Structure 1
Amino acid sequence: MEELREKLKRLQAVFASMESVMVAFSGGVDSTFVLKVAHDTLGDRVLALTTTSPTMPEEDRRSAIEMARLIGARHMMVESNELEVPGYASNPINRCYLCKSNLFTVCEAKAAQFGISEIVDGLNLDDLHDYRPGMKAAAERRVRHPLVEVELTKAEIRELSRELGLPTWDRPASPCLSSRFPYGTEITPEGLRKVEQGEQVLRTLGFRVVRVRYHGDVARLELESAEIERVVQPALRETIDREFKKIGFRFVAVDLRGFRSGSLNEGVIGEVRRPAAGAVE
């Protein structure tokens, strides 16, 4: 714990060195922790900015408002529809780059409007090991990653969040709804609606960590391994099948491998990072 507290002191020092800060804020574990430490350090020189769109679950929008209010930080909600960004809806491999580029463009404009000197996000050390094309967008706009700067992992952020009394400390990760669509599958408002409603059905039935992966007429459910046996119990299985058909899916499948964060990146990371023949790294 002493090492963790030292990292927290280093994070506070990072923020103390900034004149003012805009936090790209989703209300999740990482950005809530960033906002809390930044606000404790700089007070009203911190502004949280959340972009809302059809790709953001309604539950996450409410959580962002609630967490900013709990912390006492200034908070701005900006409407932004990624589906209108050229190329985004076709769901290319660099979809996250297009999304983050749009987000940080909004952050840049608002930071300039309010005279804010720094923009930060909640990227953590563990994120560097996943496929994160959004990092390129951050680098292009000089967005800083304070959690990476002080080498904080997800587990450490959760532990420090608990120490600080943040209710998000044990919250499951909640990436945008577009992450449920395999690359190359068009992202539509109707598809996003089906995914969001399907995940809400599962949470209402008591499943905590859920992903509804969108495969056209098929909803592929990713659940925690311990929950897979439960989901195939006759009564529950029939309820899920009935509710998903009401939503608009024709078939419901359960992924026997269970929930994997970023499962649709499987097989992508190596392809993206492998240099072309004759390329020099």
Structure 2
Amino acid sequence: MSERDVAAKADAVRAELAERESVLVAFSGGVDSSVVAALAHDALGEKAVACTAKSETLPEAELADAKRVADEIGIEFVTVEFSELDNPDFVVNDDDRCYHCRTMRLGRMYDAARERGIETVCDGTNASDPGEGHRPGLRAVEELEVFSPLLAHDITKDEVRAIADEYGLSVADKPSMACLSSRIPTGLEVTEERLSRVERAETILRTWGFEQFRVRDHDGLARIEVAPEELDYALDADFVRAARDHLKDAGFDHVTLDLHGYRTGSVSPAAEDDTAEEGAADDGDGDFLVDDVFAQDYPTRK
């Protein structure tokens, strides 16, 4: 990956966007959608809009961060609201959960675009995404004919981060963040109670300074995953006590620390992962419920 090649791809995206009268960017505030928003703002100025969809699966902290990044870019920021929990196909939490979520979310984006006389809706799908396993959210993108400029111009995840660096975006190195429903094992219904206690639990970890983590909700059992380099901190006695007390206050019956550390998609369909933005929440490679959390063979002392 040369700087010249990346710059040429970014120029090509700007040129193609400039040919459109206006665009609405499905905007999560993650690095992919932020780069699309920055390129669109460069190409179209006030005719580019960043739109974030508020729902029960979007943490309040992520919504606030999206607004901050949009201000950083200088692009107009709007929000729409909907509830995935109104759709029983989403609530049942099967292998197509992300497809149903993305369909609803992008449908609201199209509603917002029509209200503003905008014909083109863009998203942050990049060229690395299609090769990352089971990604039902991408099917919704294709069916709704959303324009994915990063994918169209073969811009990979590493190149997205390089472009973000060129723009000086604060999210250039931001870890991927799937929606809260990705913390609930496939087959266990997505409910407002479960989403709320996961959000409260992850707010506690964020307050303690953890950067790469998940709190998985196994029907009342909280399984904390943190990055390997943060594991020592998670084993600190003061944090252990705080996590136990605060997560129980958040609504969990039991609190555990996963010694494997943070892994993308440890509760959802095989080969899926949680790197997708803007509500795709494609998060997988486990597909087990509470009684299977520790169902592995471990060596024992004789």
Unaligned 5+ runs, structure 1: 270-281
Q: Secondary structure at the match of 2:21?
A: coil
Query: Partner of 2:118 in structure 1?
Result: 116
CA distances 1:121-147 after superposition (whole Å, capped 9, x unpaired):
001122212321111111111101111
Residue segments in structure 2 that go unaligned for 5+ positions in a row: 273-302
Per-residue deviation, residues 53-87 of structure 1 (Å, max 9, x unmatched): 11100011111112222222222211111111232
Instruction: Report the residue type matching 1:71 in the other structure.
Output: I
Letter in 1 for 2:202: E
Contact 1:92 1:183 in 2 (8 A): yes
Q: In the comparison of the two structures, how many residue pairs are matched?
A: 269
SS in 1 for 2:52: strand
Which of 101, 104, 108 is matched with 1:102 structurally?
Answer: 104
* d(CA) in 1 for partners of 2:23, 2:133: 26
Q: What is aligned with 2:92?
A: 90
The CA deviation string for residues 93-151 of structure 1, in whole angstroms up to 9 with x for no partner, is: 10111111111211222222222121110011222123211111111111011111112
Residue type of the alignment partner of 1:230: Y
**Alignment partner, residue 183 of structure 1:** 186
- Rounded to whole Å, the distance in 2 between the matches of 1:108 and 1:134 is 16
Q: CA deviation at 1:266?
A: 5.4
Deviation at 1:260, TM superposition (A): 1.9
Q: Secondary structure at the match of 2:147?
A: coil
Kindly state the Cα deviation for residue 224 of structure 1 after the two structures are TM-superposed.
Answer: 0.5
AA partner of residue 174 (structure 1)? M
SS of the residue 2:58 aligns to: coil
Partner Cα separation in structure 1 for residue 251 and residue 109 of structure 2: 36
Aligned-pair identity (%): 38
Change (3 A) 1:75 1:42: same
Asked if residue 63 in structure 1 is aligned to residue 69 in structure 2, the reply is no
CA spacing shift, 1:198–1:160, aligned 2, 3 Å: same
Distance 1:201 1:8 in 2: 38
Give the distance between the partners of 1:78 and 1:163, measured in 2 at CA.
Answer: 30
User: What secondary structure, in the 3-state scheme, does the structure 2 residue paired with 1:100 have?
Assistant: helix
Structure 1 stretches of 4+ moved >4 Å:
none
If asked which structure has higher relative contact order (CA below 8 Å, sep 6+), I would say: 2
Distance verdict in 2 for CA 1:173–1:203, change over 3 Å: same
- Paired position in structure 1 for 2:294: none
2:88 match: secondary structure: coil
Note if contact 2:126-2:154 (Cα within 8 Å) is conserved in structure 1: yes
Give the C-alpha shift of residue 181 in structure 1: 0.7
Partners of 1:189 and 1:233 in 2: CA distance: 31
Alignment check: 8 A CA contact 1:131 1:265 kept: no
RMSD of the TM alignment (CA)?
1.5
Higher mean C-alpha deviation, range 105-114 or range 91-100: 105-114
Deviation at 1:263, TM superposition (A): 2.8
* Equivalent residue, structure 1, for 2:236: 233
How far, CA to CA, are the matches of 2:239 and 2:105 in structure 1? 39
State the partner residue of 2:137.
134
Query: Secondary structure of 2:39's match?
Result: helix
Among 187, 204, 216, the residue aligned to 1:201:
204
Aligned to 2:255: 252
SS in structure 1 at match of 2:128: helix
Contact preservation (8 Å) 2:182, 2:268? no
Matched, 1:29 2:31: yes
SS across alignment from 1:77: strand
The counterpart of 1:144, out of the listed 140, 143, 147, is 147
> Which residue of structure 2 lines up, in the alignment, with residue 12 of structure 1?
14
| d(CA) in 2 for partners of 1:5, 1:268 | 32
Contact 1:50 1:77 (C-alpha < 8 Å) held by counterparts: yes
SS of the residue 1:207 aligns to = coil
Q: TM-score, normalised by structure 1?
A: 0.91
In structure 2, how many angstroms separate the alpha carbons of the residues matched to 1:207 and 1:36?
28
